Each structure stands twice: as structure tokens, then as C-alpha cells.
């Protein structure tokens, strides 16, 4: 992957293409001159349109406060080329280090939110908090993806899928069964 | 994978091992002599203990009624050996076919719920509805996993991760970075 891949706008209603497979993602946030990145494996697509994503952000994370107060974040999709950065981001705290600088990640201005994109990631989804009804009880945030950027290539990058205990599964190989699907379940 | 793999009890607090990587799963349910299976790709782990899983079950599914009324289901984890069954289950409706019979899947009695396990799957997670606060608004169910069964082998089965449009990513290859992790983030 190019370090700063050229990206295209992508329809927000179709981001399940990237998130439904369940990759580990890096969530970037900013508030009052502070910024941070956290890794996140507990997330799910919830709706196509509006484009909703639900996720757990534990209260102990330095990012929790930034995201809850700014009501924004960016969900960034790393590929296996960024494995070291993913592991580093997940094993440090923004209270002690600037993760962009420490792990060589480049913050880029987003279009619709103040949180920065991570330039090196394959895709970036700009998010606004849509519903905080379950935050107090479960740390569960529901975001609306308001803008999506996806690298022009590769079409099927290798992604990391966290199992816990320091171990990732890698997904990248593709099986197409389009011909066995009902037409209404396929993209037009 | 053996068609009916020998399974062991598995700690419910550790099922993120299987669900956090984001595989497509098959959800089985039963109510008043009816039974069904649906595929599900929109799910997330929400807590270790109690073992919570949140997921979207759209109101149009035949399973919606069975699960909402019985307040139970089983989340079954298929491997790539079951790709044809997964595609079949996802492209038919329980209103018209018995999916167990049609796709050669074997219902097995569960321990803690009335919904059947799918014998051919690598793992089975028996679930009880824990919170329906977001069902009306988002079709979002929060289940507690009350019993888990996992096949003795293989340790890292190939799983299917749905991207939409009839295309799955396959995960199976493993990257371990345990030595780069903080001890408190690893299993004891």
C-alpha cells in the first residue's frame, strides 16, 4: 500500500463493504487541541441509510472523553501493512504519547468533522455521534458516517481481525458467490 | 471440518476470540414448533462478563418474530466448509423452506435455550435476550451468551466475512504479536 494512498469519495450507504467483515479499525479524535488514536474491534454496521455504525468505546480510554465531548470521530481502516502501528496504538495511551508522532501516522484534515483522518489507512469514515442512548450503560456509541474516503487500490486489501490475546486473523482472499444470490441482495 | 465436530464447553467470557474477527454467523431460533436459521453479519461483542453480543435482526426476517417472542437464539459459527449452506440460508426465507432440511444442517438440542444448535458449525453460542431497548428503533438486540460450545479442532478454522454483493473475504491465516502486547491485555 502506498503510504499516502490516493483516495476517492465513496458512498456512505455502502461502507458495509469495509466494516461488515469485522476488521480492527483505528479511531481518531480531537478536542481542544488534543488528539488521539485508539484501536477498536467491537463495532457493527447498523443501517445503510442513514449510514450507522455502533461501537464500544470503553470509559478507560483516553479517547472516550474526546469523542463523547466532541461528538465526532473518524473510523480508519488499516491494512496488514500497518500491523506494527495497530499494535502500538493498541498498547499505549494518549495520556502519555502522541500516537500520530510515535507511530509515524499522518493526520489529514477531514471534510465534515474536526477529528483528523489517518492518511496511511486504506479508508477513512468521518463520523458524527447519532445516538448516545446506550453510552452510560454499555459504552455503546451509535455514529452516522457522514463522509467516506477509500483508496483507489488495491480492491481487496489484506485486513487485520483481532481475536484477543495478541493474535490477529488476516482476511484478504475473496470468494464470490454472486451467481447464487437473489438479485435484490446484490448491488445494482 | 468434521461434519459433526466433537465440541468442548468454552468460557462464555472468551467468545470474543470467535466473534470479534467479524465472521458471518448463522442464527438459529425456535418458537411453538417452528424453527429457522438466518445469516447475520451485523454483530459486535459488547462485554466480556456478562458475555454480551449486540446484533441487528431486520424486521423483515422470518426469524425476527421467533427470536423476539422466544427471547432466545443460538449464534453458530460456520467455516468455509459450509459456504454453500451459508449462501443458501441467506438467500431463502423460513416462511417457505425448512432451512435445516434444505441445506443439510443438523439441529441439536441446546443446553440452556430451546433454539437448536447447528451441529456442523465450528462453534455454537446459546443466547438469551438481555436488553431490547433498541429493538424498536434499530432492530438492535443485545444478547447474553449463556453457554458456549467450540470444536476441539482446528484451532484456527477458515471463516467467512461478508462484504455485501455476494462476495466474502476469507480469514484463517494468523499473525501473532503477543510479544508486543502489554501483559494485562493478554489472556492469563
C-alpha grid cell, residue B22: 467479524
Going from N- to C-terminal start, the domains of chain B cover 7-185
**To the nearest whole percent, how much of chain A has pLDDT over 90?**
94
Does residue B16 register a pLDDT over 90? yes
Q: Does domain A7-185 have CATH number 1.10.4000.10?
A: no
Give the SS3 label for residue B48: coil
Contacts of residue B29, defined as CB under 8 A and 6 or more positions apart, other chains included, come to B35, B36, B37, B38, B63, B66, B67, B70, B72, B73, B74, B115
Measured between CA atoms, how close is A91 to chain B, in angstroms?
A: 6
Q: What average pLDDT does the structure give for chain B? A: 95
Do B169 and A171 make contact, defined as CB atoms within 8 angstroms? yes
Cβ separation of B142 and A142 shorter than 8 Å? no
Question: Where residue B3 falls among pLDDT bands split at 50, 70, 90?
Answer: low
| Nearest chain A CA: its distance from B89 CA (Å) | 11
- Contact list in B for residue A50 (CB cut-off 8 A) is none
Reading chain A (188 residues) residue by residue, the pLDDT tens digits are: 446 778 999 999 999 999 999 999 999 999 999 999 999 999 999 999 999 999 999 998 999 999 999 999 999 999 999 999 999 999 999 999 999 999 999 999 999 999 999 999 999 999 999 999 999 999 999 999 999 999 999 989 999 999 999 999 999 999 999 999 999 999 87
- Give the tens place of pLDDT for each residue, B103-140: 999 999 999 999 999 999 999 999 999 999 999 999 99
Which residue in the block uniquely carries the three cell numbers 456478562? Answer: B50
On chain B, the residues whose CB falls within 8 A of the CB of A90 are 181, 185
Q: Which residues of A touch B56 (CB under 8 A)?
A: 44-47
Q: Which residue of B has its CA nearest to A179?
A: B166
**Residues of chain B found within 8 Å of residue A87, distances taken between Cβ atoms:** 177, 180-181
Round to whole Å and give the CA distance between B18 and B4: 19
Looking at residue B1, its pLDDT comes to 44
- Which candidate, A186, A132, A171, places its Cα nearest to that of A24? A171
pLDDT of res. A1: 44
pLDDT for B6 equals 86
Would you place residue B187 in the very low, low, confident or very high pLDDT band (cuts 50, 70, 90)? confident
A181–B contact, CB cutoff 8 A: yes
Q: Do A46 and B56 touch (CB under 8 A)?
A: yes
Q: Give the integer Cα–Cα distance in Å for B58 and B137.
A: 11
Quote the pLDDT of residue A99.
97
Interface test with B, best of A175, A176, A181, A185 (most B CBs within 10 A): A175
Task: Say what the pLDDT of residue A3 is.
Answer: 63
The four Cα atoms A83, B42, A29, A101 give a dihedral, to 10 degrees, of 0
pLDDT score at B4 = 73
Percent of the residues in chain B that have a pLDDT greater than 70, as a whole number? 97
Asked if B177 and A140 come within 8 Å (Cβ–Cβ), the reply is no
**Beta strand extents in A12-112 (DSSP E only):** 25-31, 34-40, 43-47, 52-56, 72-77, 107-108
First to last CA, chain B: 29
Residues of B in contact with A166 (CB under 8 A): 176-181, 185-186
Distance CA A8, CA A123 (A): 9
Q: Which of residues 116-155 of B touch A (CB under 8 A)?
A: 133-134, 138, 140, 142
ipTM comes to 0.96
B164 CB within 8 Å of a chain A CB:
yes
The 10s digit of each residue's pLDDT in B36-78 is: 999 999 999 999 999 999 999 999 899 999 999 999 999 999 9
**Which cell goes with A80?**
496488514
Nearest CA in chain B to A140: B46
pLDDT at B88: 97
Above pLDDT 90, what percent of chain B? Answer: 94
B91/B129 Cα distance (integer angstroms): 25
- Looking at residue B2, its pLDDT comes to 44
Q: Give the DSSP per-residue string, B37-88.
A: EEEE--EEEEETTTTEEEEE--TTSHHHHHHHHH-EEEEEE-BGGGHHHHHH
What is the DSSP secondary structure assignment for residue B187, as one 8-state letter?
-
The C-alpha atoms of residue B48 and residue B32 are separated, in whole angstroms, by: 32
Residues 28-57 of A with CB under 8 A from B: 41-47, 52, 54-56
Amino acid at each position: 500500500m502506498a503510504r499516502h494512498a490516493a483516495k476517492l469519495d465513496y458512498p456512505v450507504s455502502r461502507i458495509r463493504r469495509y466494516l461488515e467483515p469485522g476488521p480492527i479499525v483505528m479511531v481518531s479524535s480531537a478536542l481542544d487541541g488534543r488528539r488521539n488514536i485508539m484501536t477498536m474491534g467491537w463495532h457493527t454496521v447498523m443501517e445503510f441509510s442513514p449510514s450507522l455504525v455502533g461501537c464500544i468505546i470503553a470509559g478507560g480510554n483516553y479517547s472516550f472523553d474526546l469523542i463523547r465531548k466532541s461528538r465526532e470521530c473518524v473510523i480508519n481502516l488499516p491494512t496488514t501493512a500497518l500491523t506494527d502501528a495497530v499494535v502500538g496504538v493498541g498498547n499505549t495511551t494518549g495520556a502519555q504519547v502522541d500516537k500520530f508522532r510515535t507511530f509515524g501516522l499522518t493526520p489529514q484534515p477531514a471534510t465534515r468533522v474536526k477529528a483528523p483522518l489517518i492518511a496511511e489507512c486504506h479508508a477513512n469514515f468521518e463520523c458524527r455521534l447519532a445516538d448516545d442512548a446506550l453510552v452510560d450503560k454499555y459504552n455503546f456509541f451509535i455514529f452516522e458516517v457522514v463522509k467516506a474516503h477509500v483508496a483507489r487500490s488495491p480492491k481487496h486489501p489484506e485486513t487485520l481481525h483481532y481475536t484477543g490475546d495478541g493474535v490477529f486473523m488476516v482476511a484478504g482472499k475473496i470468494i464470490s458467490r454472486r451467481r447464487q444470490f437473489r438479485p435484490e441482495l446484490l448491488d445494482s
